[in-house]
Structure 1
Amino acid sequence: MELLLEVLILALLTLPVLSDFQGDALSSLKVSLNASADQLKDWKANLVNPCTWSNVICDPTTNLVTSVTLASMNFSGTLSPQIGVLKTLTTLSLQGNGITGGIPSEFGNLSSLTKLELQNNRLSGEIPSSLGNLKKLQFLTLNQNNLSGAIPESLTGITSLIDLQLTSNNLVGQIPERLFEIPKYNFTGNNLICGPTERHQCASDVSESGSPKKHKVGTIVGVVIGLIILLVGALLLSLYKLRQRGHRPEVFVDVAGEVDRKIAFGQLKRFSWRELQIATDNFSEKNVLGQGGFGKVYKGVLTDSTKVAVKRLTDCTSPGGDAAFQREVEMISVAVHKNLLRLIGFCTTPTERLLVYPFMENLSVAYRLREVSAGESILDWPKRKKIALGTARGLEYLHEHCNPKIIHRDVKAANVMLDEDFEAVVGDFGLAKLVDVRQTNVTTQVRGTMGHIAPEYLSTGKSSERTDVFGYGVMLLELVTGQRAVDFSRLEEEDDVLLLDHVKKLEREKKLDGIVDRNLNKDYDMQEVEMMIRVALLCTQASPEERPAMSEVVRMLEGEGLAERWEEWQHDEVTRRQEYERLRRRFDWGEDSAFIQEAVELSGGR
C-alpha cells in the first residue's frame, strides 16, 4: 500500500503543469517590452486568464484573445516571439513606442491576424519572410522604423492585403511587382526601386503616419503650419466684418471623405418616410434640436412613445446610391460603446436620407455650456471631468477598436451628447461618408468647424486619427472655459480670435485662473483645471506626429504620463514660438488681402 502511494505521488509530481498559454504569452510580452511598475499593472502572472486585462479583447464565447492594443505607451524593450502562439489574434497594435530589436519570425504564426501595426518604433533587421504566411492580413504598417534589407517576395502572396505602409525605413532593392496591386501602399523614404519602368509610383496614397524624424519634422511642420495659421487668422478677420445682430455663428467647411473598404454588418430598423414625418410633426421647426453641416436634427416621438432624434441629411444624394448608403450606415451601427451615440435606424427615399438616434435628455455639451435657460443646471466641475474622460474613451474606441477605424472629423462640444446621467455620448461619427459633397458648392475640400480643424487637415484635406485628437483638445478648452472655439468679441481687446491661441497666451503668462468658466463660481480644483488644459495643449500641437493617441489621452486624464509629455512640450514650444514670430514678421498680410479672400470659400452656418 505504501509503495502504491509513493508511485501515485511520483506520478502527480511528474505531470506537466497546466497553464494558460495566452496569459503566459502576454506576460512574456510585458516583460520583453520593459513595462514599468505603473504600466499594465493588471497583467499579473498569477492571473493567467488575460480576458480581464486592460488593452486586451477576447472573444466572449471562447475566451480566446482577439486584440492587443498597446499604442503610444513609451515602451523601450523588444517584441516577444512567444506572441506567435496567439493563433486567434486579429489585431496587434504596438505603434508609437520605442521598441527596438527585430520583428520575430514567429509573428508569421498569427494565422488569424488582420491588422499588424508596428509603426513609429525603432525596430531593426529585415522584415521576416514568414509574414507572408498571414493570409488574412489586411493592414501591415511598419513605417518609421529602422528596418533594412529587401521587401520579402512572400508578401505578394497575401491576397487580402489592402494597406501596406513601409515608408521611412532603410529598405533596399526592387519592390516586388505584385505589391503595386494593393489598393493603398507607401514605400517612400527608403532606397527602393519602384519598378522597371516609370509606370509605378512609390505611393498610391499619401501616408498619414508622418515623417521619420519625429522631433525635427515636428518643428518644420509647425513652422509651415504657422503660415497656414496666418491665412486662417486673416480669413477670420475678414469674417469679423460679417457679424450682424450680435450673432456669432460657427463657421463650417466641407470636404470629400477618404474611401475605405465597405463592410456591411448588423441589423438596423428601416423606417418609412411616413413614420418619421408623423414622429416629427411633419418636421416642424418647433421640433428642431439643432442644425449642423450634415443637416437639421429634429425631436420625434414614435408610435410606441419612444423619444428619438432624427437627423435629416442635407446632401441627400449619397455616393453609390441607396445600397452604398445602407452599407455605410450598417458599418457605423457596429461601433457600440457606452460613450458612442447608438444608431437605431435609418430611412431612404429617392430624395431623402435620414438617421434615427435615441433622444438625449440633456442635449449636448455645447448646450449645457452656453445655451441653458434660466433655472436649468449648469455643468459642475465633476461632470466636466466625467465628460472629458468619457469622450476620450469613445474616440479611443473609434480609432483603435473598430476595423476599419472610424475618424470623426468634427469633434467639438456640440457633437458630444449627454444622457440622463450626464454620461458623454459622442455623436455624428462616420457621417462624412454618407453625403455626397460633390453636390455642394464648397471648394475648400475640408469638413469640420472652424477653430476645431487641425492645421494639416485644413491645408491638405487629409484627415487621420490625429485630426480628431486636435478637435478633442479644443473641446477640452471649451469644457474649461465655456467659450466657443472662435470668438470675434476678443478682437476688441486682443488679436486672439481662436480660443486655442488665447489659452496658449494665458498659459505663457501664468494667468490660467482667469480663463475658467465663470459659471463654475470658483467651485473647482485649480490643479485639475491645469491638468486638463495641459492635455488640451498636447492634443493641439501643430505637428500631428507630436499629438498623443486617444489611448494615451485616456491614461493622462487618469493620471499617468502627463508630467513627462508636458515637460517635453514646453521645451519644444519655445522653439516653435520663436520660429513663428520670425515668420510673422516676414509675412504681414492686411485684412483686405484679395488672396486671403479667395483662398477659402466657406459654407453657411449649421
Structure 2
Amino acid sequence: MAKLYLTALVLVCFHYFAVSDFQGDALYAFKKALNATSSQLGDWNLNHVNPCSSWSNIMCNGNNVTAITLPTMGFTGTLSPEIAVIKSLSTLNLEGNYITGGIPAEFGNLTNLVTLDLGNNSLIDQIPSSLGNLKNLRFLTLSQNHLTGSIPETLSTLPSLINLFLDSNNLSGQIPEQLFQVSKFNFSGNKLDCGNNSRWSCDSDSTNSGASNKSKVGLLAGPISGLMVTLLLVGLLLLLCKHRYKGYKGEVFEDVPGEIDRKIAFGQLKRFAWRELQLATENFSEENVIGQGGFGKVYKGVLADGTKVAVKQSTNYERLGGDASFLREVEMISVAVHRNLLRLIGFCTTQTERLLVYPYMQNLSVANRLRELKPGEPILDWPTRKRVALGTARGLGYLHEHCNPKIIHRDVKAANVLLDEDFEAVVGDFGLAKLVDVKKTSVTTQVRGTAGHIAPEYLSTGKSSEKTDVFGYGIMLLELITGQRAIDFSRFDEDDDVLLLDHVKKLEREKRLNIIVDENLTNYDIREVETLAQVALLCTQQSSASRPTMSQVIRMLEGEGLGERWEEWQHLEVIRRQDYERMQRRFELGNDSIYKQEAIELSGGR
C-alpha cells in the first residue's frame, strides 16, 4: 500500500512539473516576443518552473494559468503564437502598449478565452478568421490599432459575444449583419459599410436585451521499517515540490462580501480582501496618505508581491448616493481603457468598507508637481507640460468619442491628472463622471465639480456635455502655463481678477502673456506658451457651442487648424468687448440722467 501511495505521489509531482514546464515555456516565449525588459517582467524566470507560484500579472486555477493581464506596460514587441498552447486561458489583456505585428492565427486555439483585449496598440494586418473558434468569447477589444481588411464573417458565429470594439482602425468592407445584434459594439473610425444598419452610423451601442473536491489519500499501517522508508521518500519529494513552488504564500485572505458585490460583475477586476489592503497600507497609516478629498482618502500601499498601489477609501458611501458613486467609478474605469486614463486594478467591499485599488503613480498629480513640491524635487519642465497637455487631451477625447456610451468626466483639473513614472498624463478620479446616451446632447443633473473649473452653462442650467469637460481642460491648460490655481483670492487685494481665466484674458488683451508664465520655468519657447494659451482660451469660451471638441483640440496641439480659429476668436472678442463697453456707457449715462432728474426735483419749489 505504501508503494501505491508513493507511486501516486510521484505521478502527482510529475504532472505538476509537466504542466508548469509547458506553461512556463510558452509564457517565457511570450515575454521575449514582447521585448519585455527585466524591470517589466523580471520574475518571469524559467528557474521558477511554475508560473502560478510567483510570476506577476498571472492568475491561476490550481496550476493552470487562466489570466494574463499586462495593460499599459510599455511593450514594443510582437505577439508570440506559442501562448496558444495554454488552453486554460480565459483572459488575455494587453491593452495600451506599443505592440506591433499581426494577431497570430493560433489565438483561435484558445477555446476557453472569455476576454481578449488588444486595444490601443500598433497591430497591423487582418483580423484572423480563426477567432471565430472562440465560442466562449464575450469581450473582444481591438480598438485603436492599424488593422486592415474586412471583419471576418466568422465573428458572427460567436454565440457568447456581448462586447465588440473594433473602432479606430483601417478596416473596410461591409460589417456582417449579425454583429449588429451584439449588446455593445463600436465600429467608428474605419471605412466600413453598415449595409442596412445605417441607423447605427457604424458606431452605436445596440439596445438589444440582450473549490473543487479533492480526493484524500491515507496511509495504512504496515511494517514499521517499510513505513519509515516510505515516509523518508515522501518527505524528500515534498521538499522538492516545496522548493520548486517558491511562490507559496502562507497567509490566505478572505472577507465577508458586502451587498454591493452583487452589482459588480467585472471579470477583469481583482477582488481584494480587506486584510490584504490593511497590510499593504500599514493599517491605513496616516503617513501613507497621498491624497484627500470629499470622497475620502487615498493611501500608498505595497501588495504582498511587491506591487505598488494606491488604495482609495470611500468615506461617504453611507450617505445618499455614496454607493452609486462607488459603483459609477468602478463602471467608468472598467469601460474606459486607454493609456491616458487611470486603470483600475480591483476593489474591496465589506459591510463597512468600500475600497478601490489603482496602480501607484509615483509622480502624483499635475497639481502636486506644480504647487506642492518638496525641497529638492524637480519642477515640471516645459516639454513635460506640453506632453501632459496632449496626453490629457487624448484621454478625454477617448472618453468623448470612442466610448459607447460616451463618458463625461465633469471634474477635469490639474489635481485629477496624474503622472506615471515617465511623467505621462493619466486622467483619474471618475467619481463624478457620467455615462451619456449617444442620442442625447446633454444631461441635466445636480451641479458637481470644483469651483473655478465649472463651465458657465453647467453652473447656470445643470446641463453638462462633453463641452463641459472641454472648459475644464482649458482651465487645466492655464494651470499648466501659470502654475497658479483656478481661483486665487490673494489677487483680490491687488485689485486684480480672482479667477485665473479672467486674469489671463486681461493680460492677453494687453499683449502681456509673457508675464503669466510660471516663475519656476526658466527654459521655454514663448511662442509655444502662446499656442497653449490660445487653445485654453478657445476651450473656455462662454458659449459651449463655440468651444472645440477634444479631437479638434488634439489637432490644434499637433499644429493643425489653430491659426484660423484663433483669428476668429480675436474678432469675436473685439465685438464682445465693444458691446460690453457700450452697455457700460449706457448704464453710466442712465445713472447720470437719474441723478440730474433728482437734482431738478430737489431744487424746485417746495
Q: Normalising TM by the smaller chain, what interval?
A: 0.5 to 0.7
Identity %: 70
Counterpart in 2 of 1:109? 195
Deviation of the 1:529 alpha carbon = 0.4
| Count of equivalent residues | 370
**Counterparts of 1:30-69 in structure 2 under 5 Å?**
57=144, 64=151
Aligned to 2:132: none
Partner SS state of residue 566, structure 2: helix
Residue 337 of structure 2 corresponds to 336
- CA distance in structure 1 between the aligned counterparts of 2:146 and 2:196, rounded to whole angstroms: 16
Change in Cα spacing, 1:393 to 1:493, as seen in structure 2 (3 Å) is: same
Shift of 1:576: 2.8
Unmatched 5+ residue regions in structure 1?
1-46, 71-81, 95-105, 118-136, 140-158, 163-261, 435-443, 589-606
Q: Is the 8 A contact 1:485 1:498 kept in 2?
A: yes
Cα deviation 1:257-284 (Å, max 9, x = unaligned): xxxxx99654201112222222222222
Shift of 1:287: 1.3
Provide the rounded CA distance (Å) in 1 between the counterparts of 2:415 and 2:482.
Answer: 15
Contact 2:149 2:172 in 1 (8 A): no
Q: Which residue of 1 aligns with 2:300?
A: 299
Aligned to 1:376: 377
**Contact 2:325–2:431 under 8 Å retained in 1:** no
Amino acid at match of 2:354: R
* In structure 2, distance between residues paired with 1:365 and 1:321: 27
Match of 2:428 in 1: 427
Bigger Rg, which one = 2
For the pair 1:364 / 2:365, whether they are aligned, the reply is yes
Give secondary structure in 2 for the equivalent of 1:385: helix
Partner secondary structure for residue 518 of structure 1: coil
5+ long unaligned stretches in structure 2: 1-123, 129-141, 153-164, 211-262, 436-444, 589-606
Within 5 A, what are the aligned runs for 1:383-422? 383-422=384-423
Q: How does 1:468-487 map to 2 (within 5 A)?
A: 468-487=469-488
Distance 1:303 1:463, change over 3 A: same
Matched with 2:52 is none
- Say whether 1:547 aligns with 2:547: yes
In the aligned structure 2, how far is the partner of 1:483 from the partner of 1:572? 27
Q: Say if 2:565 is the partner of 1:565.
A: yes
Q: Deviations over 1:141-189 (max 9, x none)?
A: xxxxxxxxxxxxxxxxxx6499xxxxxxxxxxxxxxxxxxxxxxxxxxx
Q: What SS is found at the alignment partner of 1:448?
A: coil
Contact 2:492 2:498 in 1 (8 A): yes
Moved more, 456-465 or 365-374: 456-465
State the SS of the aligned residue for 1:449: coil
CA distance in 2, matches of 1:161, 1:560: 43
Runs of 4 or more above 6 Å deviation: 47-51, 58-63, 318-324, 583-588
Give the Å deviation of 1:337. 1.3
* C-alpha contact 1:91 1:114 (8 A) present in aligned 2: no
- Native 8 Å contact 2:175 2:193 kept in 1: no
Per-residue displacement from partner, 1:178-236 (whole Å, max 9, x unpaired)? xxxxxxxxxxxxxxxxxxxxxxxxxxxxxxxxxxxxxxxxxxxxxxxxxxxxxxxxxxx
Deviations 1:77-100 (A, max 9, x none): xxxxx9883446954669xxxxxx
C-alpha distance after superposition, 1:285-326 (max 9, x if no partner): 221111123221111122222211111123214889979955
Q: State yes or no: 1:535 paired with 2:535.
A: yes
Is 1:85 equivalent to 2:174 in the alignment?
yes
Equivalent-residue separation in structure 1 for 2:450 and 2:323 (angstroms): 28
Taking the aligned partners of 2:517 and 2:151, their CA distance within structure 1 comes to: 47
CA contact (8 A) 2:326 2:431 kept: no
Q: CA 1:323–1:48 in 2, change beyond 3 Å: closer, same or farther?
A: closer
Which structure has the higher relative contact order (CA within 8 Å, separation 6+)? 1
Against the structure 1 CA distance between its residues 320 and 532, is the aligned structure 2 distance closer, same or farther, given a 3 Å change threshold?
closer
Q: Is the 8 A contact 2:295 2:314 kept in 1?
A: yes
User: Equivalent residue for 2:134?
Assistant: none
Q: Distance in 2 between matches of 1:496 and 1:321?
A: 36
Deviates more, 1:549-558 or 1:312-321: 312-321
Q: Which residue of 1 aligns with 2:448?
A: 447
Q: Please report the TM-score for the alignment, with normalisation by the length of structure 2.
A: 0.54
SS in 2 for 1:484: coil
Cα distance, 1:352–1:265 mapped onto 2, change above 3 Å: closer
CA contact (8 A) 2:408 2:433 kept: no
User: Taking structure 1 as the reference length, what is the TM-score of the superposition?
Assistant: 0.54
1:225-374 to 2 correspondences below 5 Å: 265-317=266-318, 329-374=330-375
Distance in structure 2 (CA, Å) of the matches to 1:560 and 1:418: 26
CA contact 1:485–1:499 (8 Å) conserved in 2: yes
Q: In structure 2, how many angstroms separate the alpha carbons of the residues matched to 1:524 and 1:549?
A: 27
Please tell me the residue identity of whatever aligns with 1:563.
G
Secondary structure of 2:408's aligned partner: coil
2:514 & 2:544 partners in 1: Cα distance? 28
- Give, in whole Å, the separation in 2 of the partners of 1:324 and 1:114: 30
Q: 1:362 is matched by which residue type in structure 2?
A: N
**AA aligned opposite 1:543:** S
